[in-house]
Amino acid sequence: MRVLFIGTYVPKECGIATFTSDLLNSVSGENNDVHCEVIALTDPSETYDYPEEVVFQIQRDKLEDYYLAADYINQSDADIVCLQHEFGLFGGNAGDYIFALLSGINKPVITTMHTVIREPELEYRVSTEQLIKYSEKLVVMSQAAVDMLKNVYKTPEDKIEIIFHGVPDYPFNNCSKYKKMLNLKGSPLVLTFGLLSQNKGIESVLDALPEVISQYPDLVYLVLGATHPMAKKTQGEVYRQYLKNKVSELGLENNVVFHDKFVEKEELCNYILASNIYVSPYLSREQIVSGALTYAMGMGKAIVSTPYWYAQEMLSDNRGLLVDFGDTDGFKNSLLYLIENPEECNGMRKKAYDFGRKMTWKNVGKQYNTVFGKALKHYNTYPRVQNRFNFLPNQLPEVKLDHLKLLTDDVGIIQHTNLGVPARRYGYSTDDVGRALVALTQLTDSQKKAEEFRELITTYMSLLEHAQTDTGHFHNFMSYKREFLDEKGSEDTLGRTIYGLGHVVSCPYLSKNIRTLARILISKSRSEMENLGSPRAKAYAICGLYEILRAGVDADEFESVFKLHKDVVKPIDTLADRDNFESIIISHADSLVDLYEANHKEDWNWFEPTVTYSNAKLSESLLLAYNYTKDRTYREIGLATLDFLTEIQWKGDFFDMVGNKGWYSYKGEKPIFDQQPIEAGYLTQAYVSAYEIVHERKYLELAKYSFEYFLGRNRLQAVMYDYSTGAVFDGLTSEGMNYNQGAEPVICFLMALSSLNEHIHEAFSTLLQSKVSDGLVTGLQRNEKACYQ
């Protein structure tokens, strides 16, 4: 059995780090067949030389790390995940970053709850309920915690296990040997230890000491421990200085000692063994576990404590003395009672020590291994449906153009929105108009549809005609005042425009006038098209010109319209030159092949040293070039690069697009965020083209999965498509979904939807009738067929 622990870890100076280390050693020490590793929580300001069992690190406040850790866990050979949970360990609201990890893994989770809140604020209740949902078993360390889980959070009883906090196994002893070893004074020596913070309540003990010391002047009160890192970060040493000032005010300088350091476990145990009395003066009742109190019990110390929940339970049956919170007289009387009644004190110590035998790490390790075994057996016997996407619909959405129409006025498409409301200050973009024409013409499968879309298509064509420059290029950005903001757009703008115009030319249901105008605009751009340098611009141009050639549209078809309007339309010598389009496709496809040959490596099948944006359009353009020319080099590289995009983005049950925060360079780290929906749209189109050309079912399956990225099949399980309006949210960020709904995402959604719509019946029947194709990337979830059934 392989166990992967998640928590803080030594050498970090933190109680849970020590607990995780002790638990790991006890689990592996009790069974040679158990192998343990650790995912450690860290802080950006911390650098640790972790031991070899730490295999992955999560920066506490970096959400991406939680997602990456989930990926690591899924790809590892771990059988069980053992999570150490304390709200403050994890980033987010009430530590909710951890759910980015838990929601994404397919291993059983055993959670040790170091805190359970009886009267939680809303965010802590929600976080606890989520934790319960994702955990196979919950381990708590007291009956009080069990009762709270059942009564407050309605947790099923069979999900809860009680295993005490572990303690080292030392013989019952007297103190003199260890006092001498540490050169400590104090008769008696009273000890409080642990990371120092204002909740510690040490001032209550200090206020009680003057009267005790007046009778027993050799008493020493040792406060052992560094200031808690979080307290130090936010408040500095305010609390420690407050305590030191109180010591001076009370005249206790000779009787109170502060050891401001974090001691390792062996040294800590020596300090406990050297002490006569342990005092635990916490101020909060909601303390569900205390490692310090547990250690003191396990080593047979006389104990005085405030009645927080854990202490009440552990010190029952006369295993210690309880004093009310802040009760100075109570602490004074309890200390005097223990000093003046040695036989009763020893009896109390022995009861605590005997109870502590249940809590030795050896016994704790055995109990955890038993829970691990039960959970794993239960998990395997009754396998959970690991499909996280069972909310997906079993059919594609209907075409809905409400949002596209909302963004469109009598000029063109408003580029961006502010929370779904068109933001006029951003104006218009030729890029959007060109691709919108692709989407609309793909959806125009009848004369009725042509009439329905006529106004939109005419408006978009009008903008393109206006945006074309004298050289045949196109302006890209126009302000809301109808003023162009550039001398000309980028090469990609030209490519996207040709892409859209090519679809207009090849759409038989559109009017001859509109199609003729599109052909003229393309022909006027010929010299600009021939001299493109941008790989993506070339890919767009290939896709647009391919549509004309594929449809067999010849210039003669437009000749009558051309003659009727020769006073308006300037004659273009190359209007009928079909060979020009073919030569441009071959030239651009060859240059993409050259680019691939220059940059691809054995483990990097891509055109460039970095995967950036609009990626799948490069692969698709070569596949279309192959389909027209039958040059098998285009096919080979088109498929190889498309498969590479699958390899780096398909996670087994969802697509994880390359984020634009740095892009993905060879030998670099793939960024998760920000993910853009254009990648899902273009992937869907490319997979559909691949399926149509090579007839391999895996591409149709992948097309469906990449399209479902919009519907929630993504890392955040976020539904990006608004079924009521047809809008699409702008992207996925580390903070969640971008709630703006601009032009590009809805256009790319419509392009993908129209491509997949042609094969949707076949796509669904493929998923239901066949096993996952052998060629599909390893990890496709077979149980997804059941979801669609």
pLDDT digits (tens, 9 = 90+) for 242-261: 999 999 999 999 999 999 98
Q: How many CB atoms lie within 10 A of CB 488?
A: 18
| Sequence-ordered strand ranges (E) for 269-341 | 277-280, 302-305, 321-322
Q: Where are the alpha helices (DSSP H) in 152-290?
A: 176-182, 202-215, 229-235, 238-250, 265-274
Q: 536 is written with which tokens? A: 């993506």
Instruction: Answer yes or no: is pLDDT of 782 > 80.
Output: no
Fold of 2-166+364-381: Rossmann fold (3.40.50)
User: In whole angstroms, what is the distance from residue 296 CA to residue 476 CA?
Assistant: 74
Looking at residues 515-521, what average pLDDT do you find? Answer: 94
Q: Tell me the CA distances in angstroms from 244 to 202, 261, 283, one per residue in order.
A: 11, 16, 19
Q: 131 is written with which tokens? A: 């934790």
Fold match, 2-166+364-381 / 176-357: yes
| pLDDT category of residue 150 using cuts at 50, 70 and 90 | very high
**In this predicted structure, what is the pLDDT of residue 230?**
77
Where do the domains of the chain lie? 2-166+364-381, 176-357, 402-788
CA 43 to chain centre: 17
CB-based burial label for 570 (10 Å; 0-12, 13-18, 19+): exposed
Q: Cβ(684)–Cβ(703) under 8 Å?
A: yes
Q: Which CATH architecture has domain 402-788?
A: Alpha/alpha barrel (1.50)
How confident is the model over 68-86, as pLDDT tens digits?
Answer: 899 899 889 999 999 999 9
Q: Cβ(439)–Cβ(496) under 8 Å?
A: no
Give the closest residue to 665 by CA, choosing from 744, 580, 715, 599: 599
Cβ neighbours of residue 483 closer than 8 Å, sequence gap 6 or more: none
**In this predicted structure, what is the pLDDT of residue 787?**
33
Instruction: Answer yes or no: is pLDDT of 425 > 90.
Output: yes
**In this predicted structure, what is the pLDDT of residue 778?**
35
The more confident residue out of 763 and 179 is 179
Q: What are phi and psi of 326, to 5 degrees?
A: 70, 15
Looking at residues 640-658, what average pLDDT do you find? Answer: 96
How confident is the model over 36-59, as pLDDT tens digits?
Answer: 999 999 988 888 999 999 999 999
Q: Where are the alpha helices (DSSP H) in 216-264?
A: 229-235, 238-250
Q: Cβ(95)–Cβ(88) under 8 Å?
A: yes
Q: Identify the helix (H) or strand (E) that includes residue 437.
A: helix 430-443
Q: Cβ(39)–Cβ(69) under 8 Å?
A: yes
Q: 162 is written with which tokens? A: 């009680």
Q: Cβ(221)–Cβ(209) under 8 Å?
A: yes
| pLDDT category of residue 157 using cuts at 50, 70 and 90 | very high
pLDDT over 90 percentage in the chain:
79
Q: 452 is written with which tokens? A: 């329905």
Q: Identify the helix (H) or strand (E) that includes residue 381.
A: helix 361-381
Give bridge partners of residue 280 from the DSSP assignment: 305
Map 340-352 to HEC letters: HCHHHHHHHHHHH
The more confident residue out of 419 and 277 is 277
| CATH dotted code for 176-357 | 3.40.50.2000
Q: How many CB atoms lie within 10 A of CB 52?
A: 7
